[in-house]
Structure 1
Amino acid sequence: MKTIKVNVVTPDGPVYESDVEMVSTKAQSGELGILPGHIPLVAPLAIGVVRLKKEGKTELVAVSGGFLEVRPDQVTILAQTAEKASDIDVERAIRAKERAEQRMHDQHAEHIDFRRAELALQRAINRLAVSEGKK
């Protein structure tokens, strides 16, 4: 089966590099499925999961935004943060989720940035879902 090279990179360095059969992820405009030979494309990513189909199995990477660049033979994901499912610290993600929920609950306090708390909650929920193999 044909494959496409995938690189997931963050400011801290590479997170994932492999040849895969299919990439699917969520851009800000909607879901994308990428196969070898896909037309060139650049798209901003939403907070979500990158699903990488390889040898009949699906590997998951949690990303918190960034950009996707597709070329016929390569996909590059430049993410603000990215973690493979096996690298996610579940306890830390749970604490982040609880903090974000508390900040949103306390939104009546003037110093709370509701949108920032909402994004933190989305990132924590995404990381937890990926760590559990969901999404």
Structure 2
Amino acid sequence: MSKMTVEVVTPERVIFSGEANLVIARGVQGELGIMPNHMPLVTPLKIAPVRIKTEGGKEVVMAVSGGFMEVRGDKVTILAETAETPEDIDVARAKSAKERAEKRLSEKHPDLDVRRAERALQRALTRLQISTK
């Protein structure tokens, strides 16, 4: 089976670098499945899990908070604002962040930055989703 090189990079560090058979990410237009020899593309990413299928059917899952994915030849590069593996996630902190964001959104203060609260909620939900993997 053919492979491609995949790198997931944040401003702080390289989260993943290796060979893969499939990358599944959520772009602004919807879910994307990238396999070796995919057509070139660059797309912004949403706050969502990214799944990387490696040799032997293993899967690497991480919570990605925005950024971009570039596909060129047999290389996929994800430049993420943040990316966390399940081991990196503090579940209690993510639950607390979820509750704070839901509370902010339900109170509807006139000076509330709704977009910021919605992004915080989505980040917390994504972290909680992959922490159970």
Give 2:5's aligned residue. 5
> Does the residue aligned with 2:128 lie in a helix, a strand or coil?
helix
For the residues of structure 2 that align with 1:121 and 1:35, how far apart are their CA atoms? Answer: 31
For the residues of structure 2 that align with 1:112 and 1:42, how far apart are their CA atoms? Answer: 33
1:73 aligns with 2:79: no
1:47 aligns with 2:47: yes
For the residues of structure 2 that align with 1:7 and 1:84, how far apart are their CA atoms? Answer: 14
1:83 aligns with 2:88: no
How many residues get paired?
Answer: 132
AA aligned opposite 1:18: G
> Does the residue aligned with 2:36 lie in a helix, a strand or coil?
coil
AA aligned opposite 2:129: A
For the residues of structure 1 that align with 2:72 and 2:19, how far apart are their CA atoms? Answer: 14
Alignment of 1:1-135 (within 5 A): 1-54=1-54, 55-107=56-108, 109-133=109-133
TM-score, reference length from structure 2:
0.94
> Does the residue aligned with 1:36 lie in a helix, a strand or coil?
coil
TM-score, reference length from structure 1:
0.92
Aligned CA-pair RMSD: 1.1
For the residues of structure 2 that align with 1:112 and 1:31, how far apart are their CA atoms? Answer: 30
Overall identity of the aligned pairs, in % = 52
Give the gaps of 5 or more residues in structure 1. Answer: none
